[in-house]
Amino acid sequence: MPSSETSGLERVSRAERLQLSYGQQRLWFIDRIAPGNPIYNEPLVVLELRGRLDVLAVRRAVDHLLARHEVLRTVIAETAGEPSLRILEPRPAELEVLDFRSPSEEETDGRLREVLDAEATRSFDLSRGPLIRFSLVWTAEERHVLVVASHHIVSDGWSVRVLLRELATLYGDAVRGRPLGAGLPVLDVQYADYAAWQRRRLERGELAEEERYWVSRLRGAPMQLDWPTDRQRPRVSRLDGAYVAGQLSTASLDRLRAEAGAALRDDSGPVTRFMALLAAWLLILHRRSGSLDISVGSAVAGRMRKDLEPLIGFFVNVLVLRTDLSGNPSLLTLLARVRETVLGALEHQELPFDRLVEQLQPERHDSRQPLVNVFFAYHNFSAERHVVEGLELRRLRYERAGSKFDVALLAVESEEDARTLTLQLWYDPELYDEETMRAALEEVCRAVEGLGAESLGRRLMALDAILEPPRDGPCEQEFRW
């Protein structure tokens, strides 16, 4: 099978009909069913700018960014029910500038929060665009906040890092009077070329081996985890979301993976933090559902080629991690199974999730995602600090409630504090109470803290005692709300 690095990715004619990628087509279809639903808005990018700001230079940087990346000026056209990409000509961006300076810092912060909440839930028109918006909020004499909102159909988490790095470079070029973007990598291809290449590879059978792997791996798998709900499931989900959160010491996680790696002593590679926390998550999912055959969704960047790395666009792919918990395995055996599941999935990660859905044809529900309703993600949050011509740029965290899955565990490593891991348990409040989710998150904590070397030989059915709440409170030393 040709690898992604050797299979020909080249520019396609812009005069021909430009196909959507598989992921884009799914989001377009969802938008047709529920127009304007903001659930697939990307998380807001909130960038603090401290120092003397040249607003004209910001405008020039944004304009050049849009001209450089076709996907940011792309809309979805429809002809006879079939979608296609339509790339608009470059034009000046609509940069909204808001002056919220006030003697009252509390008032300024409140007005800024209102803008953030409004932008996070403001819908996009996929057929008209723009599918990315920029707002500049003046909060103090030498402090501004740049807010970037986009639809997932043109962006993803990796793209945010590209966008911030390039904006910093372009702003510096504009302030210094240099040619904009001269130091940025040349983009030999654009997102539309990637979408055409992805379709072409599937048509030529280049991913047939991956298709066979996934169809075999998921044949007979339960498509949904039956975690008992606190309320009856609605016929159509509003995709609302809420989350509970806390912090866990990374030392506990590292102790578990190190002890497991030492005990396994094979050539399959180390047990990573991702694998160790996924194993703990599976224990809680089993405890809550009683299932011994559990599929969890997780995401990969989807950029297997070097020439895709500097692009902005929707490349992320969802993998279905199916783990067998049957036979009352020991904790060590479970960790070995999790490692095998993760490594196998990564080896076959190029098959688009939406192509897999086509092949498996799961029963569809308006209130559930296809194939998986439980998710797990492990991220590294970077504050993305840059200093340009005396201006300090720093990315701020902003959370907005929304959940595409019944339940999703998100672990976030922070560069600012390597000793702690932030855990967020996102859930659908139409189905679950906050109390239920807090208890489940505490169980994840206890699983990580309590599963040491002495537990590696214990069987699945004997691990319940570790997950029971201690009499002196829930993981007070290791876990903080």
Burial of 153 per CB tally in 10 Å (0-12, 13-18, 19+): buried
The gap from C-alpha 457 to its chain's centroid, in whole angstroms, comes to 34
Question: How much is the pLDDT for 317?
Answer: 97
Question: How much is the pLDDT for 226?
Answer: 92
pLDDT tens digits along 347-406: 999 999 999 999 998 877 665 688 999 999 998 876 678 899 889 999 998 877 677 899
* Whether 268 contacts 337, CB under 8 Å: no
Residue 265 lies in a domain: yes
- Pair (168, 234) in one structural domain: no
- Pair (62, 136) in one structural domain: yes
- Pair (294, 410) in one structural domain: yes
Residue 287 lies in a domain: yes
- Interstrand relation of 82-87 and 293-300 (parallel, antiparallel or unpaired): unpaired
Question: How much is the pLDDT for 476?
Answer: 40
In degrees and rounded to multiples of 5, residue 477 shows phi and psi of -80, -30
Question: How much is the pLDDT for 237?
Answer: 67
How many CB atoms lie under 10 A from the CB of residue 427? Answer: 26
pLDDT higher than threshold 70 for residue 167: yes
pLDDT higher than threshold 70 for residue 477: no
pLDDT tens digits along 268-277: 788 999 999 9
pLDDT higher than threshold 80 for residue 109: yes
pTM of the predicted model, to two decimals?
0.91
Angle at 160 between CA 157 and CA 162, to 5 degrees: 120
pLDDT tens digits along 223-272: 889 999 999 988 766 667 899 998 888 898 898 888 888 888 877 788 99
How many CB atoms lie under 10 A from the CB of residue 209? Answer: 12
Residue 59 lies in a domain: yes
Question: How much is the pLDDT for 5?
Answer: 56
- Pair (329, 220) in one structural domain: yes
Question: How much is the pLDDT for 269?
Answer: 81
- Pair (187, 222) in one structural domain: no
Among residues 141, 168, 195, which one ends one of the domains?
Answer: 195
- Pair (152, 259) in one structural domain: no
In degrees and rounded to multiples of 5, residue 295 shows phi and psi of -110, 130
Strand partners, 140: 143
Question: How much is the pLDDT for 473?
Answer: 45
pLDDT higher than threshold 50 for residue 32: yes
* Whether 438 contacts 244, CB under 8 Å: yes
Question: How much is the pLDDT for 220?
Answer: 92
Proportion of the chain above pLDDT 90, given as a percent: 74
Residue 6 lies in a domain: no
CATH number at residue 100: 3.30.559.10
Residue 134 lies in a domain: yes
Q: Which helix (H) or strand (E) holds 167?
A: helix 157-176
- Output the average pLDDT for the chain: 91
Entry field: residues in the chain: 481
Cα–Cα distance for residue pair 136/99, rounded to 1 Å: 9
Residue 292 lies in a domain: yes
- Pair (121, 224) in one structural domain: no
Q: What is the DSSP string of 353-417?
A: HHHHHHHH-PPP-TTS-SS-SEEEEEEEE----EEETTEEEEEEP------SSSEEEEEEEETTE
Residue 27 lies in a domain: yes
Among residues 195, 217, 242, which one ends one of the domains?
Answer: 195
- Pair (41, 106) in one structural domain: yes
Q: Hey, what long-range contacts does 254-259 have (CB within 8 A, 24 or more apart)?
A: 255/452, 256/280, 256/448, 256/451, 256/452, 259/452, 259/453, 259/456
- Pair (239, 358) in one structural domain: yes
Q: Looking at the 3D structure of the chain, how many domains does it have?
A: 2
Cα–Cα distance for residue pair 8/18, rounded to 1 Å: 17
Q: What is the mean pLDDT of residues 164-169?
A: 97
- Pair (191, 212) in one structural domain: no
Residue 2 lies in a domain: no
Question: 232: which DSSP letter?
Answer: P
Cα–Cα distance for residue pair 281/447, rounded to 1 Å: 8
Structural domain including 338 reads 208-382+399-480
Helix, strand, coil % over all residues of the chain, rounded to 5: 40, 20, 40
Question: How much is the pLDDT for 385?
Answer: 86
* Whether 9 contacts 193, CB under 8 Å: yes
Cα–Cα distance for residue pair 36/416, rounded to 1 Å: 36
Question: How much is the pLDDT for 464?
Answer: 77
Among residues 137, 166, 195, which one ends one of the domains?
Answer: 195
- Pair (377, 248) in one structural domain: yes
Secondary structure (3-state) at 419: strand
Sign (positive/negative) of CA torsion 215, 220, 223, 225?
Answer: negative
CATH number at residue 347: 3.30.559.30
- Pair (296, 439) in one structural domain: yes
Question: How much is the pLDDT for 158?
Answer: 95
Q: What is the mean pLDDT of residues 195-202?
A: 97
Cα–Cα distance for residue pair 369/352, rounded to 1 Å: 15
